[in-house]
Structure 1
């Protein structure tokens, strides 16, 4: 069915946790690079004497605490988190006695910069990029002013990586926003298409009713003088049919008044025969023959319904059963039709997977929800706690038909 699938495992990890992992990885790399590994005659980088003193260890501890705080703030206060992670990069660089902020110390800030660019507005993302580049420039400037030596070329490489991470984040942000716009447009188009289909079906219902009225009125005219009682009976049928048709038209026109008049119907789509709840048994037989057993239960006293309600009830059951066949992976479902005093309740349940796929574009639930909303009813569709899926709808019956 059309339900949300679980996120991939890596997507479940919050961005703040990724920054903490990046910081820890940077620390590990820093110490490994200053250790003579197998196959090396000497370490890749000689450790600073500060790393072996209490003040150097203090800087590392303070930097780690600041980085952990930045990871904690990333989801709620992204700019404050960036400041903390950039400060951690500076504090972690001080005991190394180098002329630039190494990539290992800047890695956590770069990961945070990517997530800010991905999830935050453009202004916030630009401020985060400016903070990152400003920190790198300031560090090199202070080194040049105080000691006259700085790793400018190495810092340019770190700055380039920061810009690349930011651009990747903005690209992911734009792709996600575009996908959301496409999804919203597709959902709106599905609703419009469903409204047009309902309008076509209502047209068929009204045409059928007007044809009956014309036949009954013609019969009444022919026997008005010879068979007054038959003429009165025909005119009563005309009155009943006319009232039901007008009531259905009024409900439909009021509900469709907000539809977009600019969308035109597809001239190549032909309207099918008008169906109703009397066809549920035939639908069940056809579906059962196809391999999914449909059990139909009726409660209350069946009675004639207005054509628009009768048709919508059948379409809801039909779409629900179709979804069971396509998505549930089960071999049986149950259809319940409950005739109440002032409404009719529909329920379709199954024992299948209870979920569908995020790439499903059938919009079946959106169409059913739109039908029920047009008739001022109630609609619910969700996985069942005990397993499977449940679709339930309540359609109110007009007072004059009860």
Structure 2
């Protein structure tokens, strides 16, 4: 059973925790810049008169409670959570005796704004940005109306950090959406390819056997009264072809169900009892087709060797479908199958002397399936009337140079 990969450690931390860490980092920075650190003659920022009084400390504790509530609600109610964090930043600013909301107090709001822009819709993210900028603007407006000094330049820097956080979050949102779109497209493409693969296997498994069954059944019907023994032999061939078709269909269904853990063990055993077809079955295919009335001559050249399963199966299916087309369309009594084992490729040719010209003008699913099989293996495929008459199918399948595991053993 496959397991999905675990998330990176940073991804496991909930967004509310990041906002909380941003809040407490800002509080720490607020107090650090108001004390004389080593190497300084005096603190960087003058301490406000209310900061260390009981009312200033009470405001800081209330602000921390509001920020904690915002962190708790961030994933469920993002706009309400941001409103609480912005309120906490504003409340924590009053005891500092400054003319603007400092960056340290607004750091948690920037983090919350980033997560909202990265995970929510564009409309919600835009409202969140308006809330952040509106809070900064409202703070300055209240101080101006009261006749107090304001730090407009410093507040513009804080507003710029909010815009940057919003833009970075929006970029993360678009990247995630693009990744999801690519994943969905890849899944859809994989589904289409799987359907085509199943259609090819179904066509190749059934079409040949049905052609043989039709020929044998027709022969049995013609001689059932005059030659009962021949009719019985033909019907026995029909039974054999039918059983082989059912076996092939069962093997395909077993392969399709192997993703089900409940049936994986039984299906694997069934698949082991019925190995996939390959070039080793060409002689059996030739005998069955010859018995049905169309002689198949097999010409084998080169040194036969084990092939990768996908190449072996595809080569057999191409020969099977080509012979089936000869039986159904060529109106001839024989065909020739050539298999050439080369050092770098496997060459296949199926040729007949029947009336194959009509088939090329109206290609069916068989030719399409063969062409797709060869394309998936990066090979070459042709199917066209032969200049001397009849029809010829050729395929060249590249064979990897690396030895198979069975050869090494």
Shorter-chain TM band: 0.5 to 0.7
- Spell out the pairing of 1:299-314 with structure 2 (5 A cutoff): 305-314=246-255
The equivalent residue for 1:186 is 186
Structure 1: 5+ residue runs without aligned partners?
Answer: 246-304, 321-333, 347-402
Query: In the TM superposition, what whole-angstrom CA distance separates every residue of 1:160-200 from its partner, at most 9, and x where no partner exists?
Result: 11001001101101110111111111111101101101111
| 8 Å Cα contact 2:254/2:267 also seen in 1 | no
22 and 57 in structure 1: CA distance in 2 versus 1, 3 angstrom threshold: same
C-alpha displacement of 1:236: 6.5
Structure 1 position 142 matched with structure 2 position 149: no
SS in 2 for 1:49: coil
Residue by residue over 1:267-310, the C-alpha shift from the partner in whole angstroms, topping out at 9 and shown as x without a partner, is xxxxxxxxxxxxxxxxxxxxxxxxxxxxxxxxxxxxxx453222
Q: In structure 1, how many angstroms separate the alpha carbons of the residues matched to 2:2 and 2:181?
A: 19
Note if 1:129 corresponds to 2:126.
Answer: no
Residue 64, structure 1, aligned to residue 64, structure 2? yes
Aligned match of 2:330: none
C-alpha displacement at 1:84, in angstroms? 0.3
Distance 1:163 1:203, change over 3 A: same
Partner residue in 1 for 2:195: 195
Question: Which deviates more, 52-61 or 84-93?
Answer: 52-61
The TM-score with structure 1 as length reference comes to 0.62
Residues 162/338 of structure 1: CA separation in 2 closer, same or farther (3 Å cut)? closer
Match of 1:154 in 2: 154
Runs of 4+ with >3 A deviation: 221-226, 235-245, 314-317, 334-339
Cα distance, 1:71–1:345 mapped onto 2, change above 3 Å: farther
> Per chain length, whose mean CA-contact separation is higher, i.e. which structure has more relative contact order (CA < 8 Å, sep 6+)?
1
What SS does structure 1 have at the residue aligned with 2:51?
helix
TM-score, normalised via structure 2 length: 0.61
Larger radius of gyration: 2
CA RMSD, aligned part only?
A: 2.7
Cα distance in 2 for partners of 1:147, 1:29 equals 29
Assess, with a 3 A threshold, how the Cα gap between structure 1 residues 345 and 235 changes in structure 2: closer, same or farther.
Answer: closer
How far the C-alpha of 1:226 sits from its partner, in A, is 4.1
Structure 1 match to 2:52: 52
